[in-house]
C-alpha cells in the first residue's frame, strides 16, 4: 500500500502516535497533525520513517477550519492525496459536573467535538474512494465513570457524527467508523491520577491490565485497510470492560 496516504490528528503522542507508526509499517505516507509540541511531532515522524513509511508533521488546531484545510492541502501537495483520516486529537480535564469550570467545558467541546467535526468535514471533501475515516471515541460513553461527564459527552457526540456520516457517504466507497478505547496507558490517561486509582482501573478488565496504544493502533490499522465491510460502527477496544 505504498500509495496510501493518512492524516493522523493528535499524532505526536499517545494513541495517535502509535497509530501513525503502525500505518507507517503498512507503507503509508503519514501526515502527523499536532497542536503545539513540535519536538514530539518530529520524533513521531522519525518513528513512522523507521517503521517503513514516509511522514511530515503539520501543526494545526483541529477546531480551526482554516488550519485544518491547510493541513489537508499539505497532504495533497506532499503525497498526492488523502486516503485515511484518523481523528485522535483530544483533551480530558476531569472534575465532577457540578465543579467543572464552564470555560474548561467549552475547551473540551471545542477540541474533542468541534475538532472532530471540522476534520471530518475536510475528510468528506478530500478522502479518495477506497478510503476510511476513523474517529476516536472512548468506552467511557458506556462505563459512566464519575468526573468524566464533559469528556464523555463530547465522545458521545463523536459517535453520533460517525454513524450519520457513514450514511451520508453512500456511493463514495469511503468507510466511517469509531474506535472507542478503554483505559489505555497514555500520558493523557496517567495525568493527575494516583497510582492506587490506576491500579484499580487496570484490574477491571478480564485481561487485568491497561490497554497499550499498540492495542488500539491495531484496530485503527484494520479499519484503515482490510476492514472494508465494517462501516458506520463503534468498535469498543477495552479488553472486555463492561458497563
**Looking at the annotation, which residues are catalytic?**
151
DSSP state, 111?
A: I
Strand-pairing partners, residue 175, are 132
The cell numbers describing 231, all together, are 462501516
Which H or E run contains 134?
strand 127-136
Q: Give the separation between CA 117 and CA 107, rounded to whole angstroms.
A: 15
Q: How far is residue 185 from each of residues 37, 139, 181, 208, measured CA to CA in Å?
A: 20, 14, 11, 13
Buried b (16+ CB within 10 A) or exposed e, 218-228: ebbbbbbbebe
Residue 25's CB is within 10 A of a number of other CB atoms, namely: 14
SS3 category, 128: strand
SS3 category, 176: strand
Q: How far is residue 232 from each of residues 4, 117, 176, measured CA to CA in Å?
A: 22, 16, 5
N- to C-terminal Cα separation, the chain: 38
Q: How far is residue 96 from each of residues 101, 106, 183, measured CA to CA in Å?
A: 10, 15, 19
Amino acid at each position: 500500500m505504498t500509495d496510501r496516504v493518512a492524516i493522523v490528528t493528535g499524532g505526536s503522542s499517545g494513541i495517535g502516535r502509535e497509530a501513525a507508526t503502525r500505518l507507517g509499517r503498512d507503507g503509508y505516507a503519514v501526515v502527523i497533525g499536532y497542536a503545539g509540541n513540535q519536538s514530539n511531532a518530529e520524533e513521531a515522524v522519525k518513528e513512522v520513517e523507521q517503521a517503513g513509511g514516509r511522514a511530515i508533521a503539520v501543526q494545526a488546531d483541529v477546531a480551526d477550519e482554516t488550519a485544518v484545510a491547510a493541513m489537508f492541502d499539505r497532504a495533497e501537495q506532499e503525497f498526492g492525496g488523502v486516503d485515511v483520516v484518523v481523528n485522535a486529537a483530544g483533551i480530558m480535564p476531569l472534575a465532577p459536573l457540578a465543579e467543572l469550570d464552564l470555560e474548561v467545558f467549552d475547551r473540551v467541546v471545542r477540541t474533542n467535538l468541534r475538532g472532530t467535526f471540522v476534520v471530518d468535514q475536510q475528510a468528506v471533501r478530500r478522502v479518495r474512494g477506497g478510503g476510511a475515516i476513523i474517529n476516536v471515541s472512548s468506552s467511557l460513553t458506556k462505563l459512566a465513570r464519575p468526573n468524566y461527564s464533559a469528556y464523555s459527552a463530547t465522545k458521545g457526540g463523536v459517535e453520533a457524527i460517525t454513524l450519520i456520516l457513514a450514511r451520508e457517504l453512500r456511493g463514495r466507497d469511503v468507510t466511517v467508523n469509531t474506535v472507542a478505547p478503554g483505559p489505555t496507558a497514555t500520558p493523557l490517561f496517567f495525568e493527575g491520577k494516583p497510582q492506587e486509582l490506576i491500579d484499580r482501573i487496570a484490574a477491571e478488565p478480564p485481561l487485568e491490565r491497561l490497554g497499550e496504544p499498540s492495542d488500539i493502533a491495531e484496530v485503527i490499522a484494520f479499519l484503515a485497510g482490510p476492514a472494508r465491510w465494517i462501516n458506520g460502527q463503534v468498535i469498543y477496544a477495552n479488553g472486555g470492560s463492561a458497563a
